[in-house]
Amino acid sequence: MTPIKIAQITILWLLLLLPLSLTGCGTRTAAQSPDPGPKPATRQNAVDFLTDYRQATAIATQEGRPMLVLFTLPNCVGSKTMLDITFADEEIQKFSRHFVCVQVDGSKETDLYKSQHITHFPTLLCLDSLQQEIGRLSGNPSPDQLALHMHAMIRAAAAKNVAAKTGPVIRR
């Protein structure tokens, strides 16, 4: 391979990787994400997220509902896309009514995201009403992919809730 060909390939790889480094997502620690300033106006017709994790766990426990915890970073393109597009989807909004939804800012709640072993942003964590993990999804799924995941989590939470109320099923 000639030096010119190697240089061309190197430049091509750099151009392909540059957009990934500018998104603010991935394994970047929350402490490295600068504060973007004031939040934009509330999105119309989107999922209403609580922002206080402790309040959300209290509501989930009291109402016996599962939690949908969205870990985001302020300057993460994937987080913004998930909030502005994916959660604005009508089907996602309908599924979200089965959950207590809370958005956790990874740049402010570092202890919480570390305790939940969050390594990429955005990450969606589904917990039952006792805060036991049912499932998780990292990255930026399409609304259809997220709807399938949410449907499965609703069924898993319901099955866990029934098992907790009735005890183990003994088959003979």
For 105-156, write each residue's pLDDT tens digit. Answer: 988 988 888 888 888 899 999 998 888 999 999 888 889 999 998 888 888 8
Contact 128, 157 (CB under 8 A): yes
85 lies in some domain = yes
24 lies in some domain = no
Q: What is the pLDDT of residue 161?
A: 65
22 lies in some domain = no
Residue ranges with strand state E in the chain: 67-72, 100-105, 123-127, 133-138
Q: What is the pLDDT of residue 48?
A: 85
Q: How confident is the model at residue 34 (pLDDT cuts 50, 70, 90)?
A: very low
Number of separate domains in the chain: 1
Instruction: Kindly report the pTM of this predicted structure.
Output: 0.70
- Domain housing 69: 45-165
Q: What is the largest CA-CA distance in the chain?
A: 74
Is 47 a residue whose pLDDT tops 50? yes
Convert the pLDDT of each residue in 59-98 to its tens digit: 999 998 999 999 999 989 998 989 988 999 999 999 999 9
Q: Which helix (H) or strand (E) holds 90?
A: helix 90-96
CATH number at residue 78: 3.40.30.10
19 lies in some domain = no
Higher pLDDT, 33 or 93: 93
130 lies in some domain = yes
**Residue 100, strand partner residues:** 67
29 lies in some domain = no
37 lies in some domain = no
49 lies in some domain = yes
